[in-house]
Amino acid sequence: MKFAAAAATDQGRVRTNNEDAFLVDDKRALFAVADGMGGHRGGEVASHTAVEALRAAVASGSALNDAIERANTAVLSRAAGDEELTGMGTTLTAVIPIGGRQLLVGHVGDSRAYLLREGTLQRVTDDHSLVEELVREGRLTPEQADAHPQRAIITRALGIDDEVDVDVYTLDVEPGDRVLLCSDGLTTMLRERDVERLLRTEREPQHAADALVDAANASGGEDNITVVVVDVLEVDPPAPPDPTALLVDGEGRPEEAASPQPAPEPPAPARSKRSRLRTVRGALLVLVPLLLIIGVAAGILGWYARSSYFVGADNNEVVIFKGVPGGVLGWNPTIDRRTGIRVADLPQLERDRVETNSTRGSLATADAFVTRLAGATTTTTVPRTTTTRPRTATTRPRTTTTRPRTTTTRPRLAP
């Protein structure tokens, strides 16, 4: 198989250091993204340790899931030698070809893998996070998950336990497909429709990677942002025909052998009994405190709904709403302020962000976004109001007084 790949990373506009790491190994067609955690320098050390251990394990011949397990061991070993690194961990999402038209995706944590085919974006991986598990169980809607106070809690990572469960996905690809690996610093800032549009619009992998990072920063850049864009240029040709496919029957005539059945897709790695026990234990560890969290969450969500703001549209006007999109627990959003900015005057990307209510947070965040929108409008027209005072012509009637002239004729006396 043949690929063209590029990557971009940035610490964002809030964090003071970058705890993300990525791997682009063109020689082995191995690509990965890791998002570290642990504070201070722990997260940065964890993510870089994981990708380097992954590279070394694959180079030595390990299968992808085994290589990720070895990366888990490497992170644990690195933390054991330094008290400042105790408790560090990292996500890891990696992809590698396995021949023919197939890629293998290995995944732990809440970084993600996507496939863009014919302009349509498909998500490949499932997040190992508390809110995503609640969404999959039907306890939260995707909109509620976006505003959940525990949305940053992940339930699986490298460097936490001696053993780690690795999700493995088999992905059929064809020339023209584009694969995206990214940390959650991208997906928490951009809607999937915006990610899809940028991947579809930018032809070159490096331009696409840079555009995604720039867009996430423009949306607030609240976390480190890392993306790897992989274009599938060629796939391996089909296997050559089997020379034993034609046999000779008893009369010397060639007959076709039974058609070979296509090889089944590689099954997902079987989960061992110990792995299942760990899963049950992990579920109990989550469910017990979850019962307490649910009780507290209702009050927290109510408070959050009335102290949050987002930018949206009302009658083609950009407005600041108080609350969360769609409402929560009966608290529906209300209009806090009208801006006078017409949605139709905005660039397409900003218009989409307004119409999808993608800018959320504090009132200061909403004000900053509206200020930027005011400078980004394509046409700003300030209506000029001309008030014409009617001129009243007052014609004063002219009065003409004619005094009667009196003529007195004296009688003339006869002599």
pLDDT tens, residue by residue, 389-402? 544 444 444 444 44
Using the predicted structure, report yes or no on whether residue 59 has a pLDDT greater than 80.
Answer: yes
- The span from the CA of 315 to the CA of 1, in Å, is 51
Q: Which residue has the higher pLDDT, 49 or 410?
A: 49
Using the predicted structure, report yes or no on whether residue 171 has a pLDDT greater than 60.
Answer: yes
Q: What is the predicted pLDDT for the residue at 168? A: 97
- The span from the CA of 299 to the CA of 150, in Å, is 14
Residue with tokens 């579809």: 200
Q: Where residue 295 falls among pLDDT bands split at 50, 70, 90?
A: low
Helices 64-80 and 42-59: crossing angle in degrees, nearest 10, is 140
Using the predicted structure, report yes or no on whether residue 51 has a pLDDT greater than 60.
Answer: yes
Q: Where residue 385 falls among pLDDT bands split at 50, 70, 90?
A: very low
Q: What is the predicted pLDDT for the residue at 202? A: 96
Evaluate whether 143 touches 131 at the Cβ level (below 8 Å). no
Contacts of 90 (CB under 8 A, 6+ apart): 21, 34, 35, 36, 37, 43, 46, 47, 49, 50, 75, 109, 157, 158, 159
- Cα 81 to chain centroid distance, Å, stands at 36
Contacts of 83 (CB under 8 A, 6+ apart): none
- The phi, psi pair for 376, rounded to 5°, reads -105, -5
Q: What is the predicted pLDDT for the residue at 277? A: 57
Using the predicted structure, report yes or no on whether residue 231 has a pLDDT greater than 90.
Answer: yes
Domain 2-237 is found in CATH 3.30.360.10: no
- The span from the CA of 386 to the CA of 140, in Å, is 54
Mean pLDDT of 37-66: 94
Q: Say what percent of the chain tops pLDDT 70.
A: 70
Evaluate whether 78 touches 90 at the Cβ level (below 8 Å). no
Tally of CB atoms within 10 A around 386: 4
Q: Is the dihedral of CA 156, 160, 163, 169 positive or negative?
A: positive
Q: What is the predicted pLDDT for the residue at 134? A: 77
Using the predicted structure, report yes or no on whether residue 45 has a pLDDT greater than 80.
Answer: yes
Sketch the domain layout of the chain as residue ranges: 2-237, 297-376
Q: Please report which helix (H) or strand (E) contains residue 94, including its range.
A: strand 92-97
- The span from the CA of 39 to the CA of 81, in Å, is 17
Q: What type of residue is 299?
A: G
What are the structure tokens assigned to 387, written together? 């008030």
Angle at the Cα of 220 (from 217 to 224), degrees rounded to 5?
Answer: 60
pLDDT tens-digit map of 204-219: 999 999 999 999 999 9
Using the predicted structure, report yes or no on whether residue 408 has a pLDDT greater than 60.
Answer: no
Using the predicted structure, report yes or no on whether residue 410 has a pLDDT greater than 70.
Answer: no
Return the top range by mean pLDDT from 109-113, 151-155, 345-349, 374-378.
109-113
